[in-house]
């Protein structure tokens, strides 16, 4: 892993305090507020920050983060039966706490149960949450078929997570649902199970009955994979409609005539299909908007509107999910949802608490590669690593820098053909790629369970982007680490990340806490256009450059060739 070697040699670690001293002042409302030593390394030294979950001595997850019940306290210890429940006992449900006695959850005491799982419910007559350590409630209350419950267990989804406890009943009761829960907390299964339950059996007629819309092809493929597992044993007809390859374009006519149960797709592709009369959504009874805030944001709003208009069934039910649901988006959602229940798990628009977050001052573009080196020196650059940058061009530039050093690195962005993107995702999942450079295309929804580290090489353009990007690690109750580089040009927006860090229990230096929040106008500007940055570059002397132009070119060409071959092999399958 040459890059790691080269990054640890040369200029030495950390930052030149003298050199960056003036830059530090940019971030301090008053220079004197900075810590006495006023060094960038004071901020970047992970050991100096107390983290609830990041330390190596912390073996147990806090209960509220124990999404998958592995360290679960017995239910009896959590929910106490309200003895004085004033005649509401007949509406109760039972929680059998792993054979440790039964606990009745009633309308009177459900509040403490919800509190324990950090679930907040809003709406009229919100259904009672799932109770019990396993999935027995699904059968008892909704007669969910055995094969679905067996598949849950078979594929390792043994206990419901908090969001599944709170939100599955809403959808199983056929209500519109607005669901906010942290990244990696199991929102996908939350809507997929009720969806298959309601569909009952594979279709006999043409036309889709359920549609899942999400922002990227990668996410659509991933949702499909989870649905395929959950529905194993039945011949569900699921179509994933993403940007077509040439071969698929030729098959288009045939495909549109098939019987399908579920369509999983991206907004642009679906609108194109609607316009081309390739699909008919009039029979759709269940519409899911996964990453709903993204789909209702400016970039996709028009398409999402067209999709909603095309789903004309009078009994259409909708489910909207995301880890971030800004108030404006919620307001918008309420305009087309009917008598919806809102289920929120954890803190609204908060980062998942299993991620140890760190801000690292890098001053300038050059400092970013030094930043990588300092992570190596601290032993924190452990693959698999995801590195986020703000544009395709910068992804390509950084790729060229790292591939040159022989790292198992690859790059994924919107300009690469679908088959290549799929091959990269699959190689990363298999551990064949150690460092994956990506744009926003991988920021949302993608479930790489084992990612150790997320690096925001370029500062994210919104707080939502920050939350989703760092949520690619620390998933499903695991621990993870996220490091965000910030340079001079990011000063105005630093506070937004600081706020998220504080909310999720990370300590940040006092001077950062005193920073002003960016104005609405500034936030809007950043969201619309990423700041101009110098080209990605290596600090002078950090890696050998002399006479290496030819070598670099050869390596880049070899890598492109390898990718092309993989692509061809993939296509010929």
Q: Does 28 bind ligand ATP (CB under 6 A)?
A: no
User: What is the Cβ-side half-sphere exposure of residue 298, based on CA atoms within 13 angstroms?
Assistant: 3
Euclidean distance between CA atoms 410 and 432, whole angstroms: 10
Residue from 121, 183, 462, 542 touching ligand ATP (CB under 6 A): that is 183
Least separation in angstroms between CB 171 and ligand ATP: 14
Count of positions (residues) in the chain: 573
Nearer CB in complex with ligand ATP: 392/476: 476
Q: Does 169 bind ligand ATP (CB under 6 A)?
A: no
Q: Does 186 bind ligand ATP (CB under 6 A)?
A: yes
Residue 121, beta-bridge partner list? 343
Q: Does 221 bind ligand ATP (CB under 6 A)?
A: no
The encoded tokens of residue 391 equal 């544009």
The encoded tokens of residue 16 equal 């030149």
Residue 265, beta-bridge partner list? 213, 241
Strands of 463-549, DSSP E: 480-487
Residue from 4, 15, 27, 68 touching ligand ATP (CB under 6 A): that is 68
Nearer CB in complex with ligand ATP: 92/186: 186
Which SS3 state, helix, strand or coil, does residue 233 take?
Answer: coil
Least separation in angstroms between CB 373 and ligand ATP: 29
Q: Residue 543: CB partners within 8 Å, gap ≥ 6? A: 3, 6, 7, 10, 369, 401, 404, 405
Within 277-336, which residues bind ligand ATP (CB under 6 A)?
323
The encoded tokens of residue 159 equal 């206990």
- The strand pair at 119-122 and 341-345 is best described as antiparallel
Nearer CB in complex with ligand ATP: 158/488: 158
The encoded tokens of residue 423 equal 């091959």
- Taking CB under 6 A as the binding criterion, the range among 451-459, 470-478, 506-514, 553-561 that sits at the site for ligand ATP is 470-478
CB–CB of 190/179 below 8 Å?
Answer: yes
Least separation in angstroms between CB 223 and ligand ATP: 9
CB–CB of 308/292 below 8 Å?
Answer: no
Nearer CB in complex with ligand ATP: 179/403: 179
Euclidean distance between CA atoms 333 and 164, whole angstroms: 21
Residue from 165, 175, 421, 475 touching ligand ATP (CB under 6 A): that is 475
Q: Does 413 bind ligand ATP (CB under 6 A)?
A: no
- Taking CB under 6 A as the binding criterion, the range among 27-35, 176-184, 403-411, 529-537 that sits at the site for ligand ATP is 176-184
Least separation in angstroms between CB 466 and ligand ATP: 13
The encoded tokens of residue 150 equal 């067996």
Within 247-286, which residues bind ligand ATP (CB under 6 A)?
none
Nearer CB in complex with ligand ATP: 304/321: 321
Euclidean distance between CA atoms 339 and 317, whole angstroms: 10
Nearer CB in complex with ligand ATP: 413/475: 475
Residue from 104, 134, 149, 476 touching ligand ATP (CB under 6 A): that is 476
Task: Provide the mask over 118-157, with x wherever binding to ligand ATP is found by CB under 6 A and - wherever it is not.
Answer: --------------------------------------xx
Residue 357, beta-bridge partner list? 482
Least separation in angstroms between CB 448 and ligand ATP: 9
Nearer CB in complex with ligand ATP: 97/445: 445
Within 423-462, which residues bind ligand ATP (CB under 6 A)?
445, 447, 449
- The strand pair at 453-456 and 409-412 is best described as unpaired
Q: Does 189 bind ligand ATP (CB under 6 A)?
A: yes
Q: What is the largest CA-CA distance in the chain?
A: 85
Q: Does 54 bind ligand ATP (CB under 6 A)?
A: no
Least separation in angstroms between CB 349 and ligand ATP: 12
Least separation in angstroms between CB 521 and ligand ATP: 29
Nearer CB in complex with ligand ATP: 189/199: 189
Q: Does 187 bind ligand ATP (CB under 6 A)?
A: yes
- Taking CB under 6 A as the binding criterion, the range among 1-9, 258-266, 416-424, 469-477 that sits at the site for ligand ATP is 469-477
Least separation in angstroms between CB 183 and ligand ATP: 4
Q: Does 480 bind ligand ATP (CB under 6 A)?
A: no
Alpha-helical (H) ranges within 155-260 are 162-172, 187-199, 217-230, 246-256
Residue from 471, 474, 480, 509 touching ligand ATP (CB under 6 A): that is 471
Neighbour-count burial of 281, counting CB atoms closer than 10 A to its CB (0-12 exposed, 13-18 middle, 19+ buried)? buried
Phi-psi region of 99 (alpha: psi -120 to 50; beta: other; left: phi over 0): left
Least separation in angstroms between CB 60 and ligand ATP: 18
Number of residues lying near ligand ATP (CB under 6 A)? 23
- Taking CB under 6 A as the binding criterion, the range among 171-179, 180-188, 328-336, 385-393 that sits at the site for ligand ATP is 180-188
Closest CA to 474 of 498, 457, 450: 450
Euclidean distance between CA atoms 395 and 389, whole angstroms: 6
Q: How far is CA 525 from CA 29, 468, 493, 521, 522, in A?
A: 22, 20, 11, 6, 5
Considering only CA atoms, give the Rg of the chain. Answer: 25
CB–CB of 60/39 below 8 Å?
Answer: no
CB–CB of 112/149 below 8 Å?
Answer: no
Q: How far is CA 405 from CA 24, 552, 556, in A?
A: 31, 9, 10
Q: Does 401 bind ligand ATP (CB under 6 A)?
A: no
- Taking CB under 6 A as the binding criterion, the range among 75-83, 256-264, 418-426, 468-476 that sits at the site for ligand ATP is 468-476
Binding site for ligand ATP (CB under 6 A): 68, 156-161, 164, 181, 183-189, 323, 445, 447, 449, 471, 475-476
């Amino acid at each position: 892993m040459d890059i790691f070697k080269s990054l640890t040699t040369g200029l030495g670690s950390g930052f030149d305090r003298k050199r960056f001293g003036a830059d530090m002042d940019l971030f301090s409302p008053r220079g004197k507020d900075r810590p006495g030593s006023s060094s960038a390394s004071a901020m970047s030294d992970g050991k100096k920050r107390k983290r609830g979950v990041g330390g190596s001595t912390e073996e147990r997850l806090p209960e509220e983060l124990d999404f998958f019940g592995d360290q679960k306290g017995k239910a009896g210890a959590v929910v106490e039966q309200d003895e004085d429940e004033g005649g509401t006992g007949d509406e109760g449900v039972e929680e059998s706490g792993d054979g440790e006695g039964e606990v009745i959850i009633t309308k009177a005491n459900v509040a403490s149960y919800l509190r324990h799982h950090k679930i907040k419910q809003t709406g009229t007559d919100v259904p009672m949450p799932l109770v019990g350590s396993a999935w027995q409630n699904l059968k008892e209350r909704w007669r969910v078929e055995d094969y679905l419950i067996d598949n849950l267990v078979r594929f390792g989804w043994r206990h419901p997570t908090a969001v599944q406890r709170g939100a599955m009943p809403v959808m199983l009761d056929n209500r519109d649902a607005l669901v906010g829960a942290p990244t990696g907390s199991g929102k996908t299964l939350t809507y997929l199970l009720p969806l298959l339950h309601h569909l009952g059996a594979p279709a006999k007629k043409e036309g889709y009955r359920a549609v899942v819309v999400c922002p990227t092809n990668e996410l659509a493929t991933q949702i499909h994979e989870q649905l395929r597992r959950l529905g194993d044993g039945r011949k569900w007809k699921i179509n994933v409609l993403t940007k077509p390859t040439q071969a698929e374009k030729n098959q288009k006519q045939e495909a549109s005539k098939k019987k399908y149960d579920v369509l999983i797709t991206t907004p642009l592709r679906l609108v194109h299909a609607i316009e081309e009369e390739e699909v008919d959504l009039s029979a759709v009874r269940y519409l899911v908007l996964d990453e709903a805030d993204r789909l209702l944001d400016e970039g996709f709003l028009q398409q999402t509107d067209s999709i909603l208009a095309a789903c004309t069934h009078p009994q259409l039910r909708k489910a909207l999910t995301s880890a971030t649901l800004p108030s404006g988006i919620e307001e918008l959602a309420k305009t087309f949802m009917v008598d919806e229940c809102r289920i929120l798990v954890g803190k609204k628009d908060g980062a998942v608490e299993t991620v140890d977050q760190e801000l690292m001052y890098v001053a300038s573009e050059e400092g970013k590669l030094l930043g990588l080196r300092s992570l190596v020196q601290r032993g924190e650059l452990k693959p698999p690593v995801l590195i986020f940058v703000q544009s395709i061009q910068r992804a390509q530039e950084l790729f060229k820098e790292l591939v040159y050093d022989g790292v198992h690195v690859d790059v994924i962005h919107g300009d690469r053909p679908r088959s290549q993107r799929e091959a990269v995702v699959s190689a990363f999942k298999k551990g064949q790629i150690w460092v994956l450079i990506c744009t926003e295309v991988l920021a949302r929804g993608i479930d790489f369970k084992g990612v150790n580290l997320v690096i925001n090489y370029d500062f994210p353009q919104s707080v939502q982007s920050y939350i989703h990007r760092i949520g690619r690690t620390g998933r499903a109750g695991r621990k993870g680490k996220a490091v965000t580089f910030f340079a001079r040009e990011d000063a105005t927006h630093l506070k937004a990340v600081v706020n998220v860090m504080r909310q999720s229990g990370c300590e940040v230096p006092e001077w950062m806490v005193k920073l002003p929040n960016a104005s609405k106008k500034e936030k809007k500007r950043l969201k619309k256009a990423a700041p101009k940055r110098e080209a990605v570059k290596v600090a002078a002397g950090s890696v050998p450059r002399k006479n290496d132009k030819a070598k670099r070119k050869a390596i880049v060409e070899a890598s492109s060739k390898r990718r092309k071959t993989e692509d061809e092999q993939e296509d010929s399958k």
